[in-house]
Structure 1
Amino acid sequence: MYLFIEPHETLLFRSGRPFNAGEVNFAESLFPPTPETLQGSLRELIARHWDPRKSLPELLRDPALTALIGNQTGYGRLRIRLIALARRQKAPNGAQRFELLYPMPAHLLRAPLQPDPSPKRLLRLKPASPAGVWTNLPQGQQPLYPEGQEQAQPLGKGSKLQGWLTAEGLEAALRSNAEMSETMIISNSEIYEEEPRTGIARQERTRTTEEGMLYTIYTVRLRPSYGFLVDLRLAQTADPLSDQLLPDEQTASLLRLPAPPTHFAHTLGGESRPVTVWLIDPQATPVRAAAPQTPDHLSGQRLLLYLATPAIFRKGWQPERWPADLGAPIAAAISGYQWIGGWQMNPSHHGGQSKTARRCVPAGSIYFFDKKTDRDLYQLTDIGKEIGYGMILKGAW
């Protein structure tokens, strides 16, 4: 069941950095929002439409509802199978469609500058063991080099890429023999702009300003036609490891949602900014997502895995157990780590408590394996599988 979240105002997705009055006077917004943020907003949306006569605290005590979407201690039968930035487009026949946009793969680099003005070629990092090179990597693991340039000088900081790839661009990036150029990249500025908001704290009793309490918040304003697309489903059972999902029509019926296409007024992020949530009929409004690599694409080539959403691993950059038929990767391209926490709301009052902040492997990370597999792989995470962490796509190198 596809839902498209379309913002109408600036958005604020707070990071875990402290923002206490009089101590820190600057706050920036994360982008895109984390799975924690989106699942919380959508669960609230479902709860408020479950029975409009009840308050949110009453709804979250309803066992019929919490069995489906969970409560503060679990997610019930709720499953999120896709979280992505998306843009609305017009198809050649005039109908609307949605195209998903993907975080930049960490194994893509800009080639050295060329004298001609043509679009710059992109290079892929690949595992290699060139002669005469020794490292302190664990046995069986290899360093990464730009393809065909194992003995060349480092490319430098200017080789790092920023931005997003379309579904077509990502499909090319995950194939070892597809040519790529910077024309496939969508820059951040095409998708959103940052808007600084400056304010000052006021005393509750007198409503007068407080000395030294000036602050600035950087919010995000999406360009028209951009938003967030989520595939929300229900599992047949509450088992978090269950992959058996109900059809969209049955999911909407159990959640008491009308049949698509329809829309709801809702809020998202800090300060509860207004959004419209569209329930999409994929038959009338197609969704263009990156197609997973088929066995034909992987024939004679080795496997790589691309993280489309952040993953939470108990062993840092790797999960507790790799799939048995793959074993451990021989290399990984990871740009760093991403702190993700959240806020656990107490519906009985305006308070709550912070969730555990975790070091996550960011979206766009790449894992290289010395094997191939025909098995379907769509998710790789130790925690948060129910709400969309660790969504992956297969590629080849």
Structure 2
Amino acid sequence: MLIRIKAIDTVFFRDGKPFNMGSENVADGIFPPLPSAIYGALRSAYFGQRPELLHDLIKDGSLNSVEDPSANLKINGIVLVIKNTLCIPAPLDLVFEKEKSINLRKKEKRNKSYQAVCLKPTTNDSMKSSVPTEYILSYNKMIQSIADGFISDMNLSNYINEDCEQLKVSLLSDYVSSEARIGIARDYDTRSAKESMLYLINMNRTNDVSLLVDFEGIDIPEKGILKLGGEGKATVYKKTSDKFYLEQPEIDGDYFKICLITPAVFENGWLPDFIDKINLTGYIGNTKVKVLSAATGKPLAVGGYDQNLNQPKPMKRAVPAGSVYYMKIEEGTKEEVIKCFHNRSIMENKLGKEGFGLSYIAKWGGDFEELKE
């Protein structure tokens, strides 16, 4: 089932920063929400139509077990819709040329899209990275990273096919604004304000932005209301006939890229679970691949609340959406690579079912940047 979710008021999705009395009284919001927030909202919509079933599952301690029909839910895709244009997070190997970035924003403000360039791996010995790969991603001019970039489906097609000359990036901050809200906790017995419990949260207000979600495994009404994010903010959803098509690239030779649409949680930090952290190689089915380089960005804290155990979930560190892995096939076929990772999750666990680690394959011809002295 494919639905579009749109906020009718401000929304709030917590980042992983602590928000406890006496340590931190400001909570920052993130957007788009983590896949787990959408997963939970869809399950709530399912049980909203079946309250007796939810009551029985909780009573029997069977929530999230094989007896729980909502455990069959699987999210196959999450993308943004900005002004009716489908968008995904900009790959993190896309950057702005620094000397042009300020003037470029002023010139193209009306269009709200900005020219980006693509990094390439290099073996320059003078450059250092915290990612111990064989090559460093670089560019022969001064660059500036793109903090909240998104690309349209048309630009995505260009990127997937390595046509990077005319790549345009949109900034989410042009469409999602922050609104500070001040509050104070109340004592439920006296109905009065508690001392030392003043807090501030930064809500998000979306403008011409909605979420397109593709899922299977449960049935919900074709339209309705979802409680999504902090404070149970209401959003509206509706079944749609929109399609998000990820063009399948024609991989030339043995080189390719894996790009993340949603954050991914790996046991070895930035490295996918199927890759050995010593020699940076691993198997996809019968195909052996090696990580040559990567652009993984700042780790993202992923938590949540376990309703079944009535306690917070353990905090985990995730590789952010947009992360890119430059790969080489050492043994096997490119067909198996595309089958395993194009338009599906790179994670084969419960978090993968929730929509974490959704990925696609992009073409890369194995070319390397030649830095000018």
TM-score bin, normalised by smaller chain? 0.7 to 0.9
Shift of the alpha carbon at 1:133?
5.2
Distance change in 2, residues 1:357/1:205 (3 Å): same
Contact map agreement 2:57 2:68 (CA 8 A) in 1: no
**What is the distance in 2 between the residues matched to 1:360 and 1:221?**
25
- The answer on 1:266 being equivalent to 2:260 is no
Tell me the secondary structure at the aligned position of residue 381 of structure 1: coil
- The answer on 1:293 being equivalent to 2:248 is yes
**What is the distance in 1 between the residues matched to 2:188 and 2:313?**
28
- The answer on 1:330 being equivalent to 2:330 is no
In the alignment, which of 209, 226, 233 is matched to residue 216 of structure 2? Answer: 233
Q: Give the unaligned 5+ runs of structure 1.
A: 90-98, 235-250
- The answer on 1:124 being equivalent to 2:122 is no
Distance change in 2, residues 1:60/1:166 (3 Å): farther
In the alignment, which of 343, 346, 352 is matched to residue 385 of structure 1? Answer: 352
- The answer on 1:36 being equivalent to 2:36 is yes
Shift of the alpha carbon at 1:214?
2.1
1:2-40 residue CA offsets vs partner (Å, 9 max, x unmatched): 122111111111223222234422111122111111111
- The answer on 1:109 being equivalent to 2:101 is no
Tell me the secondary structure at the aligned position of residue 20 of structure 2: coil
In the alignment, which of 70, 73, 80 is matched to residue 75 of structure 2? Answer: 80
**What is the distance in 2 between the residues matched to 1:359 and 1:228?**
24
Distance change in 2, residues 1:340/1:17 (3 Å): same
Tell me the secondary structure at the aligned position of residue 290 of structure 2: coil
What letter corresponds to residue 248 of structure 2 in structure 1?
Q
1:140-177 residue CA offsets vs partner (Å, 9 max, x unmatched): 7211122xx2xx6xx25x35453211111222233323
Structure 2 matches for 1:321-360, cutoff 5 A?
321=274, 322=282, 323=284, 324-346=286-308, 352-360=310-318
**What is the distance in 2 between the residues matched to 1:59 and 1:137?**
47
1:270-327 residue CA offsets vs partner (Å, 9 max, x unmatched): 11111112122x2xxx32x3523332xx234720011001111111111232424242
Distance change in 2, residues 1:385/1:193 (3 Å): same
**What is the distance in 2 between the residues matched to 1:67 and 1:139?**
40
Bigger share in strand: 2
Distance change in 2, residues 1:159/1:33 (3 Å): closer
**What is the distance in 2 between the residues matched to 1:66 and 1:162?**
34
Tell me the secondary structure at the aligned position of residue 219 of structure 1: strand
Q: How many residues align?
A: 338
- The answer on 1:310 being equivalent to 2:263 is yes
Structure 2 matches for 1:27-66, cutoff 5 A?
27-49=27-49, 51=50, 54=52, 56-58=54-56
Equivalent residue for 1:174?
A: 160
What letter corresponds to residue 215 of structure 1 in structure 2?
Y
Q: TM-score, normalised by structure 2?
A: 0.79
- The answer on 1:395 being equivalent to 2:362 is yes
**What is the distance in 1 between the residues matched to 2:288 and 2:175?**
37
What letter corresponds to residue 299 of structure 2 in structure 1?
Y
Distance change in 2, residues 1:86/1:65 (3 Å): farther
Structure 2 matches for 1:140-219, cutoff 5 A?
141-146=134-139, 149=140, 155-156=142-143, 158-181=144-167, 184-219=168-203
Tell me the secondary structure at the aligned position of residue 39 of structure 1: helix
**What is the distance in 2 between the residues matched to 1:212 and 1:264?**
39
Equivalent residue for 1:374?
A: 335
1:331-377 residue CA offsets vs partner (Å, 9 max, x unmatched): 1111121110110114xxxx810112111111100000123712322
Cα RMSD after superposing both structures: 3.2
